[in-house]
Each structure stands twice: as structure tokens, then as C-alpha cells.
Amino acid sequence: MRTHAVTKSKEYPDGKKPFTPEEEAEWDAKEAEWEAGAADREAQIISDEAEAKLRELDLKSIRSIRECIAKKEDAPQFLKDYETQAVNERKKLK
């Protein structure tokens, strides 16, 4: 027999009567829906964490890529300018 979450009664979920077959089926359906939702919520949390980590890695790599390309003789001028600006801004941090 099922234990009711609120009353902890094994036979009387509302304190007055036992579960009917219909109530039992409704309870089971709600439990299944909650469990399915929990899996979706967990998957969303994992996805959000992965997305945040990717953003962090992208931001870290942009500087390295810009520095590497800007050092080349045939680098686009706008990248060289961005690197110069970044160097000047980093000097302000010290």
C-alpha cells in the first residue's frame, strides 16, 4: 500500500478514506510526470553548465588567438589595432 506524502498514512491519504483505484492512477500519473520533469530539469542544468563553460573557454581563447594573429606580418590591421588597444588597457590594470 502507498504512503501518502502529507499524512504518512498507508491507508488514509486524506485522513478519511483509502485511495480509490482512480486516485491511485492519478497519483501514479502525477509521480511519473514529476519524475519526467526532474530528468528534463537535470538535463537543462547540465546544458546550462556546459554552455557557461564554453563561453568561458571562448573568452579565454579569443585573447590568445588575437595575440597570435596580430604578431604576423600579414595580419589584418584591425586585429593589430585591437591588440594594441588591449595591451594599453591591460597596462591600466597594473
What pLDDT, in 10s, does the model give residues 6-23?
Answer: 544 455 555 666 677 888
pLDDT (0 to 100) of residue 56: 92
User: In this predicted structure, what is the pLDDT of residue 7?
Assistant: 47
> Which residues span the domain enclosing 84?
21-93
Does some domain include residue 9? no
Give residue 1's pLDDT.
47
In a domain, 12, yes or no: no
CA–CA dist 80, 71 (Å, integer): 8
pLDDT in tens, 24-72: 888 888 888 888 888 888 889 999 999 999 999 998 899 899 999 999 9
The total of structural domains in the chain comes to 1
In a domain, 83, yes or no: yes
Burial of 89 (0-12, 13-18, 19+ CB in 10 A): exposed
**pTM to 2 decimal places:** 0.45
Contact 27, 19 (CB under 8 A): yes
Cell 581563447, located at residue: 61
